Amino acid sequence: MTRISLRGRILLFFVALAAGTVLALAAGLWFGYHREGRPDMLNAFIQSAIAAGFLILALITWVWYLFDTHLARPIDNVASAMRARAHADVAHDIETKDARYLGDLAAAASATATTLAQTRGALAEQVQRETTRLSSDKNKLEKLLADVPPAVLLCTGRHHLVFYNGVAQQFLAGSQRPVCLDRNIFDYLSEGPIRDAHHRLIEGGDPDAVVEFICLSPCGRRRLAGRMRLAGDNGGDHAAYVMTLRDVTTEVEAYARRDALLVDVFQQVRPALSDLRRAAESPEQSGVAGAPVVPQLQALDRLLAELEARFETCRSDGWPMAAADARELAGQLRRALEGQGFTLDIDVVELAVRCNTFDIVNLLSHLISHIHGVTSATQYRLVISDAGAAADVAVSWVGSTIQPEALDAWLGEAVFEGGMTCDSILKAHGNVLVVDCADDLPSISTRLHPVERLRPVAADLSRHVVYDFDLLSRLHYEKISDARLDALTYVVFDTETTGLLPEQGDEIVQIAAVRIVNGKRVKNEIFNLLVNPGRPIPPSSSAIHGVTDAMVADAVSVQEAVRQFHRFAEGAVLVAHNAPFDMEFLSRRERELGLRFLNPILDTVLVSATAFGRAETHTLDALAERLGVSIDEDDRHTALGDAIATADVFIKLKDMLAGRGLSRFGDVLASLRSHQRLVRDLNDQARVS
């Protein structure tokens, strides 16, 4: 009986009452008939019994209906509301208008919920006051770790991601799989070197040991230098480790160029010198003294010129340089000259150049101060223009020109006491300085290279760190049915479509998803794609979700969107509101793409029916209102907005299920299947085995 709901038990009580009453009536009539002993009265007794039986059943049914409507159902609603406030952190008052026949129960429940909310609020306020300093320190540490040059990752002993910073996301983002918590690190990096370094740390037994290694990203585009050490205080996972990665692709290429240059010097110059030595030692063999030496010298001269050009390319490889915005370089030079009383007009294109900005600004400032001493010019003009593989940097002024001899003398001077000479800065950048006087406007110019076009920083590569240290102590389950709900990773998704009939050709126009890890939504792990459906979007559909033909004209195809979402959802439990509708648009592409969505699936409609009862309204709007989840009007009926709302609703429903004792996935699944008259459960044996 404990498995039957309150309303079910009350219904059984009235059924038993009706059956007992009818049996009592039948027994009374049977006794009266036999006591009378007149056969002609049998029909009268039967007719009376039938009429009385129907009246009694109608009366009991009417009383049951009133009891169910005004007592049993409101009690269930009050119980669900209390459970929501106890386990799902819902703060608003309990609705009592449907519970007016419960006497003081509804008012008492509402007062209890209000007191609970006030107590929680006071406790939260006190905790907030106590943890404000810690939170501030935490935010500072997060920003610091987000911006440190190396990629920083923390992994469990099973090689699953627990922490990564923004640099790590940029390093790994080129992979076919998006970077997400609880994903295997080998989805993004070559497995062999990392496993080898990890085994060396484990077998060494030294908790302070550090192992260095070189690994590749799976696509092979990046060569990364790594350092690994065991994590120490790690929540019971003694094999967890911290790893830092530094991109050394450019350095390796520079070393390769330098090695190739040195090899060519030894392989090509030495034979040429040997030939010259033989020609010099035995001129009589040529018949004309000195004749063989001339072509050898010319060949050696050409070879040395070629090697010198290659050396100039390699010269700057080892110097500390970074990609600098040409506009920032110009701004720094202007501020430096304003401090000397000079003005600088700027004409700069949007380029990024690889240079040491500090050295270049000091170089130009130093030379301009000398030019002023010779020409008395105080107004200058800086032009940085695109020259293909390089950027031309020219400083001009109105007045007399300067002599090359004077420029050579200035280049030999240090830009400031103890600093590099101007000539050393130019050589470090592989440059020379040229004096020109075109159009009676004297100037000095040089080149900076290589050049990159400036690109806007992607929104998803902003400064942040993503982590959940509880993953270090989370238990691993062999069977998903035995797993606790918070031990699973969920991908909550929603789709917007051209219509409601996929079997008649309707397609996805937007798909979005968020991830829930360890019972919390990960704010920086979002999947959101506009999709070109390959057919016009009806205006009636655009009026609902706001996606138009123009918005998806250059978007990815349905096939590519499904393929990318399959990678994002790999290894997670899928969650959706009315899942059969959304899954139909995905599963119909499985055969075409050669993939399968074998993820377990939870439908928030069925989860809501388990938490609140089947008779309640289970729309997303109703659930959001009932559970205190706010949905911005601009985000409603967008795939991302609905996915976020569904995720927040699911987290609260999950906590309510745990309060009912449904804390393991197998128990929840068994309970959901009792409500399949609302929505079909999609979990077959392949998904939950």
Which residues are the active-site residues?
637
How far apart CA 112 and CA 110 sit, in angstroms, is 5
Is the distance from CB of 152 to CB of 165 less than 8 angstroms?
yes
What are the start-end ranges of the H helices in 88-165? 105-147
Return the closest-CA partner of residue 172 out of 185, 162, 160: 185
> Which alpha helices (DSSP H) does 190-348 contain, by range?
191-204, 249-264, 270-281, 293-315, 326-338
CB 424 within 8 A of CB 372: no
Q: How many CA atoms lie within 13 A of 310 on its CB side?
A: 18
Sequence letter at residue 398? V
CA distances to 209, 214, 263, 582 from 609, in Å: 54, 53, 75, 19
Q: Measured between alpha carbons, how far is 82 from 90 in angstroms, rounded to an integer?
A: 9
| Structural contact between residues 217 and 189, judged by C-beta atoms closer than 8 angstroms | yes
Quick one: which of 59, 242, 36 has its CA closest to 157? 242
b/e burial code for range 546-565 (CB count within 10 A of at least 16 → b): ebeeeebeebbebeebbbbb
Given a contact cutoff of 8 angstroms between Cβ atoms, the answer to whether 183 and 155 are in contact is no
Instruction: Name the strand (E) or helix (H) holding 224.
Output: strand 223-230
435 to each of 54, 387, 397, 404, 676, how far by Cα in Å?
115, 18, 12, 7, 84
Residue reference for tokens 């008649």: 504
Q: How many CB atoms lie within 10 A of CB 538?
A: 12
Q: What are phi and psi of 199, to 5 degrees?
A: -60, -40
- Terminal CA-to-CA distance of the chain, rounded, Å? 30
Q: Residue 29 carries which side chain, given as an amino acid letter?
A: L
Beta bridge partner(s), residue 599: none
Determine the 3-state secondary structure of 655 from DSSP.
helix
How far, in Å, are 128, 158, 201, 521, 527 from residue 634 at the CA level?
A: 31, 42, 52, 21, 19
User: How many degrees, rounded to 5, is the angle at CA 333 between CA 328 and CA 339?
Assistant: 130
* Strands, sheet with 451-453, edge to edge from the N-terminal-most edge strand: 322-325, 351-355, 451-453
Report the run of H or E that residue 677 belongs to, with start and end. Answer: none
